[in-house]
Chain A
Amino acid sequence: MVFSMKMKEYPVRMLRLFYGVLLFGLLFCGQGHTVWALQDGVYDDAGLLREDEITSLAGIIASVEEETGWNIFAVTTDDAKGKTAEAYADDFFDSHSPEREDGVAVLIDMDHREIWMSTCGDAIRYLTDDRIDRILDDAFTDISGGDYAACLTTMVEGVRVAYADGIPSGQYNYDRDTGEISVYRRITMIEALVAAGIAVASGFIVFFCIVGKYRIKFNQYRYNPRESGRMTLRVRDDQFINSHTSHRRIQTSSSTSHSSSGRSTTHRSSSGRSHGGGGRRF
């Protein structure tokens, strides 16, 4: 068992050394901002992954990072240092992504036997509680079968899908500590087109009204009977004929102003950053 663990750790260490040299070189070339994008993003501290699995996962993370512009970390640990899985994932992200706030850390915590997704920055908006639950459902199936690499891959791919789906309509962040709600506001393409259509129509109406007025198109005199008329009613008769009543069933809907489907529950990590996320014990 110890032997196999060492066999697994060796290539990882070599890979880390390679990336360390690369990082050093890039820093000296003044390309510091690309450092994180070039990291593999896989931190298999628990030694759960094979070399090919790490390579594959690193490739997926790189492509998701490129698509989203976020930092993505896949982490395993067998020692959470006394922290909860949530705190460990949050702190890992904060310490490994000090400059960029947007991103996700997915964690397999063998210490608590728990999987966790920690979201930060823009990723909180995309990865709502519902979406995280769905991703974790799939990831849980993988990890229940002992396939750690598939579990991490499922979570990272889930991030890609959530990003591709965009921020859901009615999304809002709910701070579970303070109860504060931050509604995501945006202008959709349809709203922008409708506003542009109304604006163009308004412009044309103003244009033609002014031109029409100056060309005396709207100055027709209308006789006003209220000013020049008098009426004496001889018969004023209102007879009730009949009545009928119709009814219809009202579709009930949640009366809350914010539906739970768009909710991203957030909390503060030890660094003070706001994080979303969720986990599942296995």
Chain B
Amino acid sequence: MASISYKCPNCDGELMFDPATQKYKCPYCASLFSQQQIRDMRPDTAGVRRPDAPVQAPGSLRGEAWGQAEGSAVQYNCPSCGAQIVTEETTAATFCYYCHNPVILSGKLEGRFLPDQVIPFEITRENAIQGFLKYVRKKKFVPKAFWNKRQIEKISGVYFPYWVYDVELNGRVLADARKTRSWRSGNTQYTETKIYSVRREGDITLRNLPENALSKASSVLAQGILPYRYEKAKDFHMSYLSGFMAERRDIERARVQEGMRRTMQQSAQQMMRETITGYDTVNIGSASFQPAFELWKYVLFPVWTITYKGRNGKMYYYSMNGQTGKVIGELPIDYKKVTLASVLVAAVVLALGLAVGYIL
């Protein structure tokens, strides 16, 4: 296993992926390199070894451990300054604590842990900060004095691991459907009900159902930043991680596949149900969907993680979709404002209700 970094051919600086240009930029000489140029380069490497004495990783790991590295931290040598750094088990890309150069632990993403695809960052750090502040300032029920750019403790671009599931299903739905027609003749109201037996059979292809694959990630935040635009996904290459942090999966497919299959079957049934139109009521009698083809992809999604220290001293954690800018995270609440808004709504509804009662 080795740690790698991509060096600028012009000045030997560490190249980083630039979300704005979707190219690799040297922070020292401002040179830009395409993905193809990076593929042709040989990255600098340095050895990584497991520390002789067990080292307590910062923060305990949960969920499934991976391979031989089970339950322990990993020590690596920075390819730029040679310093020895310890990382968590799932860390796949980070920065050297001493020289702050980007380092990719390539060994963490090899073999069965090699991601199939990556969605590169499209939002720069500056845009992420602006987008985050814009998001929180739009929130009307947050205490006014709460937000301040200086309160942002830490913002990190992190690639998070997800499972993405594609499936082709052979499906069949049998339903009982009814049409009713009503008419009046003299003082008699007639209602005619026609009953139909409905059958639908077909092939349904469903793509890109995502599921979080990192146990230490908050499931609320991991789900909340979805969806991503999958058409922008690229075949994985280590270089995309340069300049960002990355996590490797520790949730295996077996743990999530049944739930994901169930979601897809429900979605397929919903699609087939929507083809049964022109009826007043439809009751599904039986439905069966058999997978004809399945594709499980291991994909890294870009996420800006933001740690914000509230003026009350409490830490708040936010995630921003690194592609679309969608932000998710718990917000502090000004209960006075919320109560006032609720009372106003109640007053308006009361006035409307009384007006309706007066008119009728």
Contacts and interface: CB of A to CB of B under 8 A. Distances in A.
Interface of A: 185-188, 191-192, 194-196, 198-200, 202-204, 206-207, 210-211, 214-216, 219-221, 223-226, 228-250, 252
B315 interface: no
B48 interface: no
B331 interface: yes
A235 B201 contact: yes
Nearest to B226: A221
Given A225-B206, A234-B201, A203 B346 contact: yes
B330 A221 contact: no
Contact of B189 (A195, A228, A240, A248): A248
Main secondary structure, interface of B, reads mixed
Contact of A202 (B207, B346, B357): B346
Contact of A247 (B141, B191, B358): B191
A187 B350 contact: no
Interface of B: 139, 141-142, 172, 177, 184, 187-210, 220, 223-224, 226-227, 230, 263-264, 267-268, 270-272, 275, 328-333, 338-339, 341-343, 345-347, 349-350, 352-354, 356-360
B338 A238 contact: no
Given A221-B227, A226-B271, 4 more contacts: A191-B353, A219-B328, A243-B193, A247-B190
18 contacts: A187-B358, A195-B357, A202-B349, A203-B346, A210-B333, A210-B342, A216-B328, A224-B227, A226-B271, A228-B207, A229-B205, A230-B204, A231-B203, A236-B199, A239-B197, A242-B195, A243-B195, A244-B192
A214 B330 contact: yes
B350 A196 contact: yes
Contact of A198 (B172, B230, B263, B349): B349
Contacts of A238: 177, 196-199
Contacts of A244: 192-193
Contact of A233 (B139, B210, B270, B275): B275
Contact of B359 (A185, A214, A234): A185
A246 B196 contact: no
A124 to B, nearest CB: 20
Contacts of A187: 354, 357-358
Contacts of A226: 271
A219 B223 contact: yes
A214 B333 contact: yes
A210 B337 CA distance: 10
Main secondary structure on A side of the interface with B: mixed
A227 to B, nearest CB: 8
B270 A232 contact: no
B202 A200 contact: no
Contacts of A228: 206-209, 230
A239 B279 CA distance: 13
A243 to B, nearest CB: 4
A216 B224 contact: yes
A198 B353 contact: yes
Nearest to A239: B197
Give the most central of B192, B194, B342: most A CB within 10 Å: B342
Contacts of A198: 349-350, 353
Contact of B204 (A206, A207, A229): A229
A206 B203 CA distance: 43
Contacts of B209: 223, 228
Nearest to B184: A250
A214 B141 contact: yes
A203 B342 contact: yes
Nearest to A224: B227
Nearest to A210: B338
B193 A195 contact: no
Nearest to B203: A232
A219 B338 CA distance: 19
Contacts of B357: 187-188, 191-192, 194-195
B339 A241 contact: no
Contacts of B359: 185
Tell which of B172, B196, B270, B359 has the most Cβ of chain A within 10 Å: B196
A187 B202 CA distance: 58
B13 to A, nearest CB: 39
Nearest to A197: B353
Contacts of B267: 223, 225, 229
